Amino acid sequence: MRVTVKLFARLREIAGSDTLVRDLADGATVSDVWRELAADFPALRAFDTTVSGAVNAEYARMTRDVADGDEVAFLPPVSGGA
């Protein structure tokens, strides 16, 4: 199956792109997508415990299954504000 991956902020900078396409085995989860990205871009591993995921513009647990054609987004932790 094929998914589109969107990356934001520092994650985008590490990967050098805000949008990537990945082919995955059926039954893949958000976590599987993240692990594949981290294998290609090892600096992403620094965010393993803090990254948030979303599927089709809705926040999702890392254990959520993804389907062919889904958009999977990853967001680093955000801080700041007053």
Q: Which residue has the higher pLDDT, 33 or 82?
A: 33
Identity at 24, one-letter amino acid code = L
Residue 19: per-residue pLDDT: 98
pLDDT at 40: 97
What is the average pLDDT score of the chain?
A: 95
β-pair partners for 2 = 23
* b/e burial code for range 41-76 (CB count within 10 A of at least 16 → b): eeebeebeeebbbbbeeeebeeebebeeebebbbbb
User: Which tokens sit at 57?
Assistant: 């513009």
The whole-model pTM stands at 0.92
What is the sign of the dihedral through the CA atoms of 20, 56, 31 and 78? positive
> What's residue 78's pLDDT?
76
pLDDT at 80 exceeding the cut of 70: no
Average pLDDT, stretch 5-27? 97
